[in-house]
């Protein structure tokens, strides 16, 4: 964390220590249930460019996903949060066990407060939707995953438009080439092109839950199909990879929300790591993984899960081997927590998350469940 400072009265070292020791029991009691402030939490933090909400939360809280509780936020405010901007000051109200937000001394406030004063608020104040607002997690780590298709669920594949021909029967086409598409566009004019990959198998049921999507680029509608025909003429607007006959289309998604509030899922989640992006076998800090739970299971954007290595079942050499000493007694070891997962994109049955903290590499099949 950068550029944080401690405010308050200037006490001697002895008086300050005595005051902190005297306040410690009351301070701990005022923290929301299940949430604890760090013992070394500062009295305030001046927000600077490059800060993330997760980092700021981690400066004050043992569990960064407790952020909504210490702000007293409800579900509506979690889904549509007010923004925090560089230059504002986050204060720790030790008496109330809450965080407060204020503009710096001398700033002109929207409600006409006198310059040179601080106006504390129990919630984050709306400052507009400026591009400089603090992000919840590093934007650069997830930007490629926000607008590109990552997985395609079964119901999307059934009616997806597809490229049926190319000019002069070219095998592949690139930027500014034409493509002939068949299928119902549902009024859309801008589409992403993808190529279905291998099915993603649930680590528990071994049944396919979705199909990987390889993002190829974008198409723009030039001319819709004329009456009596269902072949539309498109032009390649951008090409990440070459595309061709058989590749499928999805409508361009709306611009994704960039401001997420970290919070526990609304419902109890017990998921498994489904896949690691780019096909590697192990994932670490700031890498993306998918889990086998989604919107229909109670996950939403900003939900935080804890990651565990699933405890192995091992032989217990000291246990009784039963009748004629022929048994093979076994015991299951406990799951071991290895990190946290911040969910940033949600489908019906699959979600994608960014690994925020990790002590050991994450592998497919690891447990991802609601924070304790």
pLDDT of residue 330: 72
Mean pLDDT of the residues in the chain:
78
Q: Are 41 and 59 spatial neighbours (Cβ–Cβ below 8 Å)? A: yes
Q: Are 82 and 125 spatial neighbours (Cβ–Cβ below 8 Å)? A: yes
pLDDT tens per residue, range 176-226: 999 999 999 989 999 999 988 888 888 888 888 888 888 899 999 999 999
Residue 356 clears pLDDT 60, i.e. is over it: yes
CA distance 217 to 221: 14
Q: Residue 319: pLDDT band by 50, 70, 90 thresholds?
A: low
Q: Are 89 and 5 spatial neighbours (Cβ–Cβ below 8 Å)? A: no
Residue 298 clears pLDDT 90, i.e. is over it: yes
Q: Residue 296: pLDDT band by 50, 70, 90 thresholds?
A: very high
Task: Please report how many Cα atoms fall inside a 13 Å half-sphere around the Cα of residue 127, on the Cβ side.
Answer: 19
Residue 13 clears pLDDT 90, i.e. is over it: no
pLDDT of residue 254: 63
Q: What is the rounded average pLDDT of the residues 131-149?
A: 75
Q: What is the rounded average pLDDT of the residues 34-46?
A: 89
Share of the chain above pLDDT 90, in %: 31
Q: Which range is least confidently modeled, 133-137, 238-242, 268-272?
A: 133-137
What phi and psi, each to the nearest 5 degrees, are found at residue 158? Answer: -60, -40
User: Strand order of the sheet with strand 44-46?
Assistant: 44-46, 89-93, 98-102
- pTM for the complete prediction? 0.70
Residue 312 clears pLDDT 60, i.e. is over it: yes
> Exposure of 274 by Cβ count < 10 A (0-12 exposed, 13-18 middle, 19+ buried)?
buried
pLDDT tens per residue, range 158-181: 788 999 999 988 899 999 999 999
> Exposure of 14 by Cβ count < 10 A (0-12 exposed, 13-18 middle, 19+ buried)?
exposed
At 350, list the tokens: 């699959």
**More confident position, 301 or 31:** 301
């Amino acid at each position: 964390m950068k550029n944080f400072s401690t405010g308050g009265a200037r006490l001697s070292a002895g008086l300050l220590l005595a005051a902190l020791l005297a306040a410690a029991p009351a301070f701990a009691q005022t923290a929301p249930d299940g949430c604890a402030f760090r013992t070394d939490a500062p009295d305030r933090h001046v927000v600077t460019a490059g800060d993330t909400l997760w980092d700021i939360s981690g400066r004050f809280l043992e569990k960064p996903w407790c952020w909504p509780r210490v702000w007293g936020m409800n579900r509506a405010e979690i889904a549509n949060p007010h923004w925090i901007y560089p230059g504002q000051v986050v204060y720790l109200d030790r008496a109330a066990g809450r965080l407060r937000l204020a503009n710096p001394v001398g700033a002109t406030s929207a409600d006409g407060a006198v310059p040179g004063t601080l106006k504390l608020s129990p919630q984050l104040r709306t400052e507009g939707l400026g591009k400089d607002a603090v992000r919840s997690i590093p934007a650069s780590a997830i930007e490629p995953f926000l607008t590109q298709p990552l997985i395609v669920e079964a119901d999307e594949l059934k009616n997806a438009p597809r490229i049926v021909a190319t000019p002069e029967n070219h095998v592949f086409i690139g930027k500014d080439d034409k493509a002939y598409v068949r299928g119902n566009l549902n009024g859309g004019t801008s589409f992403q092109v993808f190529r279905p990959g291998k099915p993603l198998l649930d680590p528990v049921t071994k049944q396919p839950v979705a199909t990987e999507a390889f993002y190829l680029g974008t198409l723009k509608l030039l001319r819709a199909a004329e009456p009596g025909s269902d072949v539309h003429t498109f032009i390649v607007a951008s090409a990440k990879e070459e595309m061709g006959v058989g590749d499928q289309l999805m409508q361009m998604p709306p611009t994704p929300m960039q401001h997420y509030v970290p919070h526990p899922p609304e419902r109890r989640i017990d998921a498994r790591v489904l896949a690691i992006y780019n096909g590697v076998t192990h994932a670490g800090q700031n890498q993306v993984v998918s889990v086998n739970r989604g919107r229909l299971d109670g996950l939403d954007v900003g939900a935080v899960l804890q990651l565990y290595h699933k405890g192995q079942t091992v032989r217990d050499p000291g246990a009784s081997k039963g009748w004629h000493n022929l048994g093979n007694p076994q015991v299951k070891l406990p799951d071991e927590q290895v990190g946290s997962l911040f969910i940033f994109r949600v489908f019906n049955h699959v979600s994608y998350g960014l690994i925020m903290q990790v002590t050991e590499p994450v592998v497919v099949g690891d447990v991802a469940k609601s924070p304790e």
